[in-house]
Structure formats: structure tokens, C-alpha cells
Structure 1
Amino acid sequence: METLAELFEHTLQDIYYAENAIAKALPKVAKAVKDTQLKQAVETHLTETKGQIATLKKVFATIDKKPEGVKCDAIEGLLKEADGLMDEAKGAALDAGLLAAAQAVEHYEIARYGSLREWAKVLGNEEAHVLLSEILDQEKAANAKLTTIAVTSVNK
């Protein structure tokens, strides 16, 4: 990669891979958690994630590229951490740990979408800027919801 356009495409492929990996992991997380609010939040985010994948396909179309992912080591590591928690943690520690793992994923996504959105703007791709802003707002809202659940329920 030598240009911002190439970096944009690569990072778009990275987050596309990540969102698809998250979509595969969330049903297992939803099944593992016990707190009803957390379970509902995970299930809601699965629906949002599927919508985000569809939106990312539209972003690929704005650069005339086929939607495809490239392996994202960061998301692989974060999901592996969640798997480890599901194997090792029990009781209150399981829900608190999985909530924290979910927030780590949200923070990664917020960082990626924030960069992609701004790069789209610099590259003059207004449509991608708008679409990526929508996803970024969803990720920030999901993170805020997880924080509320942590403070009011799971971490008590």
C-alpha cells in the first residue's frame, strides 16, 4: 500500500472480515451469558452487525470493488479471548468478562470506522463517508449500551 485509497480499501477489507467473524461469534456469546439485558444487547447487536455487513457492501460499491475480507488478526485475537472466557469463567465473572470482551471489540470497531470515515471524506467519497458514519454511530451506541449494562447490572 502506498496511497490513502489503497489503505482505505485494505482497511475496508479488514473490517469486512471482522464484521463477518463477529456475526459468527455472537450467537455463542448470547448463549453463554446469563444476564437478560446483556443477552438482549448481544442479540440486538447481531442484527445490527448483519446490517453493517450489508452497508459495507455498499461502501465497496462506491469504490467499484467486490466485497471481500482480508484476515484481521486483531479481531481474531479479541474473539479468541472471548472464547477463553467462555471456557474458563463462571457465574458473575463470565458475564462481566464477556461484556468487557464485547466492549474491546466495540472499541476496535470504533477506531476502524472512525479512520475509514475520515479517509472517505479526504478521498472525496461522500457516499462512503455517510455510510461509514452510520455504522460508527451504531458502534458508539452499542458501546454506550454495554457500559450502562455493566454499571447498572452485570458489575454489581
Structure 2
Amino acid sequence: MATKNEKSKGGNSSDKAKNLEEFFLDSLKDIYWAENALVKTLPVMFDNATDQKLKTAIDTHLAQTKEHVNRLDQVFESLGEKAEGKKCLAMEGLIKEGEEILEETEKGAVRDAGIIAASQKIEHYEIATYGTLAAFAKTLNKRPALDLLLKTLGEEKKSDCLLSTIADTNLNSQAASQDFQAKDEKAD
């Protein structure tokens, strides 16, 4: 039975990863596309955020994301491969979900809470991906790639923690107080 991917590619077995090294390279192309897509998406999130701490976190993460792309260029180079992306369906979906949040919320604390929620989903995807890629690099004895991937993994984890802190220290409470204010206004 052919998988959906085999049908869309015409079932060509030459497109399939035959070993862990090929799967590793294919996964690198996936995250390379994802990081480049985030470079375009993060400025939109920045423009829609109102909380200054959140805006600063997004701006910092944009700079980091550009560095992550540079590191991935180095990973590809260390493997003797050309840096190229392959559409990441997971990231495409996460970005679309974030865009939907922007459309469905008014500017302010509630939208900021939504931006954090969407951003953390993205961070968790990146953490899972970089953790897996680092495990593959370790297994394949690709030490230069492993070191670069672990550095990015650490930064992604820190970004996730920062977003949690911003949400927990005040932002979610502000969004909730908007809910209470709206209910009070309806009751009047």
C-alpha cells in the first residue's frame, strides 16, 4: 500500500531516505525551511504585540532565528552538503494557526496571550526537532553538527522559558481581567 507521500511523489523510491544519514539530511532541510519561514513571520508577531516584554522577546528571538539559519548553513557545510530547505508542513501549520489567532483577537493582552501560545507551540516543535537532530548527529558521529545543533537547542529552550515567564508574571492575568471587565460591562 502506497503512503500519501509516495502517491504525491509518484511512488519513486529514490525520493525515500534509505538510511539514518539520509533521513538526518532530509530533517535538516525541513528545519532549515522552518527557520527561514520564522524569519518572515516573527516581524508580523512583533507588530501585533502590545506588551513591551513580549515585543522585546520576539525581537530577540528574531535575531536568534537568523543565527539559527546561519548555524544550519554551517551544519550543512560540515556535512559537505548544500544548504537547502524543504517545505515543513508542521511549521507551515503552526504559522497558519498563529495568523488565525491574530485575525480572531483584538490588539491587546488577549492577542498577546495568543501570540505567546502560538509562539510556544512553535518553540516546542523546534525543541523536539533540534533534540532529535542532535541525537541523530551523535549517533552518526557528526560532532561539528552536533555542537551547533545543541547550541540552538539550548537557545530554543531558553526562549520557551522566557515566554512562560512573560505569560505567568502578568500577561495572562491582564488578559483574564479583560474577560472580567467585558462581563461586568455586559451585566450593566
Classify the secondary structure of the residue corresponding to 2:68. helix
Q: Helix, strand or coil: the match of 2:42?
A: helix
Is 1:119 aligned to residue 162 of structure 2? no
- 1:18 is matched with which residue? 34
Which portions of structure 1, spanning 4 or more consecutive aligned residues, are displaced by more than 4 angstroms? Answer: none
Corresponding residue of 1:67:
83
Gaps of 5+ in 1: none
Q: Deviations over 1:59-80 (max 9, x none)?
A: 0011111100000000000000
Letter in 1 for 2:62: L
1:143 maps to 160
Residue 98, structure 1, aligned to residue 102, structure 2: no
CA RMSD after TM alignment: 0.6
TM-score (norm 2): 0.82
Map Cα deviations across residues 37-56 of structure 1 (whole Å, 9 max, x no partner).
00100000000000010000
Aligned-pair distance for 1:10?
0.4
Write the distance in 2 (CA, Å) between the matches of 1:52 and 1:107.
15
Which runs of no fewer than 5 residues in structure 2 stay unpaired?
Answer: 1-16, 174-188
Structure-1 separation of matches of 2:170 and 2:73: 36
Per chain length, whose mean CA-contact separation is higher, i.e. which structure has more relative contact order (CA < 8 Å, sep 6+)? 1
Residue 180 of structure 2 aligns with which residue? none
TM-score normalized with structure 1 length: 0.98
Letter in 2 for 1:127: P
Alignment of 1:44-55 (within 5 A): 44-55=60-71
Q: Deviations over 1:8-38 (max 9, x none)?
A: 0000000000000001000010000111100
**Match of 2:171, as an amino acid?**
V
Letter in 1 for 2:150: S
Aligned residues: 156
1:84 aligned partner: 100
**Is 1:28 paired with 2:39?**
no
Q: Deviations over 1:64-116 (max 9, x none)?
A: 11100000000000000111111111132211111000000000000000000
Q: Specify which of 32, 41, 59 is matched with residue 57 of structure 2.
A: 41
Distance 1:104 1:89 in 2: 18
